[in-house]
Structure 1
Amino acid sequence: MRLSPCIVIVDDEPSVRSGLCNLLQSDGYETEAFESAEAFLQDDNARADAALLILDVKLKGMSGLELYRQLIAQTTPPPVIFISGHGDENMLWYAINLGAVTFLRKPINVDTLLDYIRRELSAREERR
């Protein structure tokens, strides 16, 4: 039985995965991290348990945007926050139009990230 929501991080940079996992766990969340979209797609439990996704836009192999488009085509995915070190305002609006909560540029402001996560998970809980 999960005591806290599980946040899934998909980023090909080990330091980003580790840093985000540590940050989110210290804030009381469970986390699962994957180095690729393909690895995440192969883990049925992670897909079922994810309360929120943090997806890097640029990944080796399938991009974070492609991953999210695929999830949308298959089911109603959990909320997503896109992150990237290579984004601009066009990327922000593309991500929002795709259904993302937001798009954050790296290096990520952790307070901003945590605010978005708390708001989204709180709103999700209220809808239940």
Structure 2
Amino acid sequence: MNESDLVCFIDDDEAVRDSVGLLLREHEIDVSSFASAEAFLGQMEGGFQPACIVSDVKMPGLSGLDLQRLLTEQQARIPLILITGHGDIAMAVAAVKAGAHDFIEKPFDDQRLLESIQAALDEARRKKAYDDTLQDFAARIGELSARQRQVMDLAVQGFSNKEIAQELGISPRTVETYRAWVMEKTGARNLADLVRLTMRLEALDGALN
């Protein structure tokens, strides 16, 4: 089973797990069901990471909101859809504001659930593509020479070729050559693209640290 397309459904009601599991499989969506948030988290300890999580809010032990909090603490950026009763709407809204992908009221409509899950899977694919792009960019930066990295750092700060040359004690023509190498090695299309990728990588490093 490909975890990159896997939906994990968490509910302490076996009948609901069976019903949702059948629904998703009928629509060719891979699903793995868990009777508790604890069981799901235990699976994640082995490196398991699905594309999307759908969880009931009220369950014995850890609730869906507890699960969200723990995933946030673990920096697990997995779209989370919460299934909630009418009395939990305020909590569910707060959860969405805190980063949950969606919440669906009980009794939920099958189509509503399917659409939300599909949107979450699409989001997960976009995040993976985004992360892969940044990882590739980081690897390419690691291949730059010390001087190329100096030129790149100054360029993304807005220094002109002349200013970089003065800062590093080299000629503007040499700076142009280094900048060309930087663009080629990083795969950036232009300076604006280089700046955006650098800012995104710095933001990601800041979030992880």
Global fold match (TM > 0.5): yes
Query: What one-letter code is carried by the residue in structure 2 that aligns with 1:55?
Result: S
Q: Report if aligned partners of 1:81, 1:101 keep a CA contact under 8 Å in 2.
A: yes
Which residue number corresponds to residue 59 of structure 1?
Answer: 59
- Pairs within 5 Å for 1:49-88: 49-88=49-88
Unaligned 5+ residue runs, structure 1?
Answer: none
Unaligned 5+ residue runs, structure 2?
Answer: 130-209
Query: What one-letter code is carried by the residue in structure 2 that aligns with 1:101?
Result: H
How many correspondences in the alignment? 128
Runs of 4+ aligned structure 1 residues displaced above 6 Å come to: none
Q: Per-residue displacement from partner, 1:18-54 (whole Å, max 9, x unpaired)?
A: 1111111111111111111111111137862311000
1:43 and 1:109 mapped to 2: Cα distance?
A: 29
Query: What one-letter code is carried by the residue in structure 2 that aligns with 1:36?
Result: S
Against the structure 1 CA distance between its residues 125 and 4, is the aligned structure 2 distance closer, same or farther, given a 3 Å change threshold? closer
> What is the alpha-carbon root mean square deviation over aligned residues?
2.1
| 1:4 Cα deviation after fit | 7.1
SS of residue in 1 equivalent to 2:51: strand
Identical residues among aligned pairs (%):
35
Of the two, which has the highest radius of gyration? 2
Structure 1-normalised TM-score? Answer: 0.88
Against the structure 1 CA distance between its residues 4 and 69, is the aligned structure 2 distance closer, same or farther, given a 3 Å change threshold? closer
Which residue number corresponds to residue 14 of structure 2?
Answer: 14
Which residue number corresponds to residue 48 of structure 1?
Answer: 48
Point out the more displaced range, 42-51 or 25-34.
42-51
1:75 and 1:105 mapped to 2: Cα distance?
A: 26
Structure 2-normalised TM-score? Answer: 0.56
Against the structure 1 CA distance between its residues 98 and 45, is the aligned structure 2 distance closer, same or farther, given a 3 Å change threshold? same
